Homo-oligomer: A and B are copies of this chain.
Amino acid sequence: MNGAQALIRTLVDAGVDVCFTNPGTSEMHFVAAVDSVPEMRTVLALFEGVATGAADGYARMADRPATTLLHLGPGLGNGIANLHNARRAHVPVVNIVGDHATYHHRFDAPLESDIASLARNVSGWCRASASTEAVARDAAEAVAAALQPPGQVATLVLPADVSWTEGATAADPVPRPAATPVSGEVVDVVAKALRSGEPAALMVGGQAVRERGLLAAARAASATGAKVVGETFPTRLERGAGLPPLERLGYLPEFAMAQLAGLRHLVLVDTKSPASFFAYPEKASDLVPEGCEVHVLATGADDAVAALEALVDALDAADTPVTLAPAARPDRPSGEITGEAIANALGAVLPEGAIVADEANTSGLWASGATAGAPRHDWLTLTGGAIGFGMPVATGAAVACPDRPVVSLQADGSAMYTLQALWTQAREALDVTTVIFNNRSYAILNLELSRVGVEAPGPKALSMLDLSNPDLDFVSLARGMGVPAERPETADALTDALERAIAEPGPHLIEAMLPGRW
């Protein structure tokens, strides 16, 4: 077998059997080789940012990496923004970046560039495969590197001649690296802080915001009077009726500081010490209240869930009752379509087992609250702040979970970065319902403009935040990529459309026109 065949066989043997790709000439032997490995599923994207974002969404739901296949430096470049989000999500991703044949570099052909400089920006592990003999082992190590707890982006550069040369053999999987156990001493220190009687909070993120972690955190908090706060942008939050509800830290520092005010102990569980998303003139970046001690129970490299359960044991709290979210749905909304009405529509119809990819930004403020008592579902958020994550992540989540409906809450501005995801959803007949919150504005920037201290923005400044002139018509855009779409005129019609779209197989898009900026 040639290098490409051995590489793909090795990936599949290591549990990586989905490839999100936008290939080019230097990847043609990889492309040809996929048919020799029946287990490898290939999913074509029309833009690399869709492929990398889909790999992120896939990993969030499958808990194992997909591979991407990208075309040299520019292909990787197009995928950087969503790899940045994947890096911040701490999910495993294996990038295969095709490159020129090793002997071709010296000609400095038009597509030659320093791929490693790009890869380093997003990758915890990066290697250029040096030979056909080495490529399968490189692939096995890339998968293991991607799975290094909590998960990271691993990038393997694949020269065309390494790919096309015969004489390769598949390599065995490298054992999956284990998370580090948290010591009893650390657990005891945290238990003591929680028992101190001083105001305390557990701040949970990463692996700790799924059912087991949430239950353990809730028990530890319930037994000690501490509160539980979730990180602002979790990778995958399990929520809904029957699970402990989680209050997430606010995006705006004023809100976050109010949530944290008065704490004397803040216990971090697979998350970082709270800091402002952006810096603002005259405002602190560090959100930890003065006099509050920060304890790290577990980092992402640790077994955070086991640490929380050990904490529950240390607190003798295994039988402590916890509050679970009651089953509750808002009434089906009627009248004008607003951000709140869309949220209530979602809360009214969201089915059991749904996956929500949330990039509604300012317009989505109400969505979390309106779905708190909906049947159990997963909520995926913008971990790295690079907009254009939502539609690709929804795509990858749907590939990972073909039996679960995916709802993609999407602001108009951020939709336009990776809109090509709709075509992949149509091609793969993925069960994704996209709701576009169309306020014809980069509303969050209007907000931020005032927050950074600009009091009287001029017409040129305002025009850079305005998405009207011309208006975007997402119904036309979706139809142009083969996705059925509609624009309901009332909240009632929107709720019906949403319910119908979720129930029908395949992708749908609903464009919700919002009256104002929010």
Contacts and interface: CB of A to CB of B under 8 A. Distances in A.
8 contacts: A77-B78, A101-B279, A107-B285, A109-B285, A118-B121, A419-B420, A423-B472, A477-B480
A384 B28 contact: no
Contact of A80 (B23, B77, B161, B445): B77
Contacts of A445: 23-25, 28, 31
Interface in A279-325: 279, 281, 285-286
A21 interface: yes
B449 A32 contact: yes
User: Considering residues A29, A77, A467, A474, which has the most beta carbons from chain B within 10 angstroms of its beta carbon?
Assistant: A77
Interface in A82-128: 84-85, 88, 100-101, 103-104, 107-111, 113-114, 117-118, 120-122
A272 interface: yes
Contacts of A121: 73, 77, 113-114, 117-118
Contact of A84 (B28, B77, B276, B419): B77
B461 A35 contact: yes
A476 interface: yes
Interface string A1-38: 00000000000000000000101111011011011100
A67 B65 CA distance: 38
A81 B71 CA distance: 11
Size category of the A interface is: 35 or more
Nearest to A459: B35
Contacts of A25: 278, 444-445, 448, 452
Nearest to A447: B25
B423 A279 contact: no
Interface string A430-461: 00000000000000110011001110011111
A383 interface: yes
Given A276-B109, A473-B480, A476-B476, A460 B35 contact: yes
Contacts of A467: 46
Contacts of A463: 42, 44
Interface in A159-179: 160-161, 164
B459 A160 contact: no
A149 B510 CA distance: 51
Interface in A405-436: 413, 416-417, 419-420, 423, 426-427
A238 B42 CA distance: 43
A464 B120 contact: no
A138 B467 CA distance: 32
A3 to B, nearest CB: 12
Contacts of A275: 104, 107-109
A135 to B, nearest CB: 16
A486 to B, nearest CB: 14
Contacts of A77: 77-78, 80-81, 84, 118, 121, 386
A464 B32 CA distance: 10
Nearest to A82: B74
Given A25-B448, A80-B118, A480-B473, A32 B113 contact: no
A356 to B, nearest CB: 19
A481 interface: yes
A279 B27 CA distance: 12
A47 interface: yes
A111 B122 CA distance: 12
A187 B517 CA distance: 64
Interface string A45-77: 011010000000000000000000000011101
A351 interface: no
Contacts of A210: none
A457 B84 contact: no
Contacts of A279: 100-101, 103-104, 160-161
A107 B445 CA distance: 22
Given A34-B458, A460-B34, A417 B47 contact: yes
A233 interface: yes
A74 B427 contact: no
